[in-house]
Structure 1
């Protein structure tokens, strides 16, 4: 065969090579972070927000406050369902003891890294749930519907009513207050949830029980 074998090897453009080097640098940085004392295996920070999926992570203070409220409300040997709220799930895993059961219902399959806690969930099919999620099996359901629409809230509400024994904690836009009251009978709490990024829509928490979020 005439010519050098090198002629058949694809050559990367300068732009592609630079992007590849940047990728490897980021991977190396992540690996070094994982080995540090403050690395949290359940950190949502390892998964970037996907705005096309309407993902917006809560800031640390908000996620921690809501997780503590859910734990308090669930009681001893409690069972908690987080519906479309991975940043709160992450905090719950850091706070809860072995006697507390927590599951994450989420559309984004990247969160399957959470193992058996992860349950694929599409609000368009609100009752398409695994058999292990029995009706009224959760002491509290904490939900954050991904879209500020009546359709999304109505369908997510079907899931919430199916799962909860009674207690509901919901986070959504302030513009949804009338619909939240109409569909789920929840009342707005004083606590104002905040996100890591500024959002145009003001958010609120809603519940159907006396919470610690009104002090």
Structure 2
């Protein structure tokens, strides 16, 4: 028995408008990605947080503080690794002043950064190019999950990539484990996010990152 057109479910005007808006936003973002890729620029590229990947972006003041601290902690020819903290990439890249910035990230949307992007899954902490061992002057990481497994495996990657200096951003509840795994201490600087999180976040380093942040 054939169904008539009257039997086919129809979307309400409100639902249809919302659906059209959703597809328009997706199309705009895809066009933005294409333009950025063609122009080799990232200054205006933005991504929505993906909460399923435990992505929570830093607020602007936190990004500026991180970038200032990173620049003051490295030479103009230095190499910087950003692990699971893509929210720092744009600002850091724009102010690199000759520094090499490499993003290690699970989210394939960031592959738009081409040679600056290396696919990374904390569950396989050493599934990265072997030639990168001990090649970064500063490694900054923000493990996506507040779990012993995630921090432990991310720490393996950090130590593999780092020459010496490391900075870790994670929940305060991970302090004891962070100190034990990485020999870091808590900074006075506290990272903040655009969307307020219930968990208290801290910054840890194995050098005086606070001083680097406050130097102009």
Query: Above 0.5 in TM-score?
Result: yes
Number of aligned residue pairs: give it. 200
**RMSD over aligned Cα atoms:** 2.7
**What CA distance in whole angstroms lies between the structure 1 residues aligned with 2:10 and 2:65?**
49
Q: Could you tell which deviates more after superposition, 65-74 or 156-165?
A: 65-74
Q: Which runs of 5+ in 2 are unaligned?
A: 36-40
| Secondary structure of 1:74 counterpart | coil
**CA contact 1:55–1:146 (8 Å) conserved in 2:** yes
Runs of 4+ residues deviating >4 angstroms: 27-35
Q: Deviations over 1:110-163 (max 9, x none)?
A: 1111111111000010000024x5210000000001111111111000100000
Matched, 1:124 2:123: yes
| Secondary structure of 2:163 counterpart | strand
Which residue number corresponds to residue 63 of structure 2?
63
Q: Deviations over 1:187-208 (max 9, x none)?
A: 0000111000000001111000
Q: Which runs of 5+ in 1 are unaligned?
A: 1-6
Which residue number corresponds to residue 75 of structure 2?
75
Shift of 1:175: 1.0
TM-score between both structures, scaled by the size of structure 1: 0.83
Distance change (3 Å), C-alpha of 1:184 and 1:122: same
**CA contact 2:111–2:117 (8 Å) conserved in 1:** yes
**What CA distance in whole angstroms lies between the structure 1 residues aligned with 2:29 and 2:157?**
36
Q: Which has the higher contact order (CA 8 A, sep 6+)?
A: 2
TM-score between both structures, scaled by the size of structure 2: 0.83
**What CA distance in whole angstroms lies between the structure 2 residues aligned with 1:76 and 1:105?**
21
Which residue number corresponds to residue 112 of structure 2?
113
